[in-house]
Amino acid sequence: MIQGNKYLDTILNELALHWPKNRIINIVCHGHSVPAGYFATPFVNTFSAYPHLLHKMIKERFPYAVTNVIVTAIGGENSVSGEVRFERDVLSHRPDVLIIDYSLNDRSVGLEAAEKAWCSMIEKALEQNIKVILCTPTWDNSYYSQNEKWEKLAAHAEQVRALADRYSVGLADSFRAFEKHISEPTDLAKYLSHVNHPSLAGHELVAEEIAKYFVAR
């Protein structure tokens, strides 16, 4: 795992360029319902979801940049399905930066299948010199019961951290960001809009984690 602005050094240099030397920088958010913007299903709150919040943060830090934040996320999808459409729906946008967020739904396919799918997407992106940032999962209401579902979520979070280390790519540790802000079970209500979808406050935590890589120049 590479932290801070060193990982995106070349991208940040380009974001800081003025016209006519600048170019379009594409950032793709690939994953499930959270980056897709689902709040209380079926309501989709696009402009309060972290891809849009991240876009605003980047533009505040790089006012001369031309950026697209493209969302290829699908509600209810897991990484196995996301990998199947990866070349068609993600690589076709020629991203400069790719953000992957699937762990909430990957409990349905298990660690082994999820790891295989994540590795495939990461490797295909790196082959094209795309910078990759992996997201650990946001929390859901299984936190209240601390049951097997919660334990699986924590295991997937740990697997994503291990993948970031293995491939020396970026990590946005949403899981730990939630952990830092929740000391009592009642605290979680502020960060959830649904059983498994973040509220605006929850999305802000994720956007801030990703934005740590986009340091103003």
Q: Give percent of the chain with pLDDT exceeding 70.
A: 98
**Residues in CB range of 185: below 8 A, 6 or more apart:** 143, 144
First to last CA, the chain: 22
Please give the pLDDT value at position 3.
60
Token pair belonging to 215: 């340091």
Residue 52 per-residue DSSP state: H
Please give the pLDDT value at position 5.
61
Please give the pLDDT value at position 185.
81
Q: Which CATH architecture has domain 4-211?
A: 3-Layer(aba) Sandwich (3.40)
Please give the pLDDT value at position 168.
96
Task: Please name the helix (run of DSSP H) or strand (run of DSSP E) that holds residue 201, with its range, or none.
Answer: helix 200-211
Please give the pLDDT value at position 1.
61
Please give the pLDDT value at position 183.
86
User: What residues in the chain have per-residue pLDDT under 70?
Assistant: 1-5
Beta bridge partners of 41: none
Please give the pLDDT value at position 203.
98
The closest alpha carbon to 59, from 10, 100, 22, 99, belongs to 22
Please give the pLDDT value at position 184.
85
The CA–CA distances, whole Å, from 43 to 40, 48, 88 equal: 5, 12, 27
Would you kindly state where each structural domain of the chain is located, as residue ranges? 4-211
Please give the pLDDT value at position 35.
98
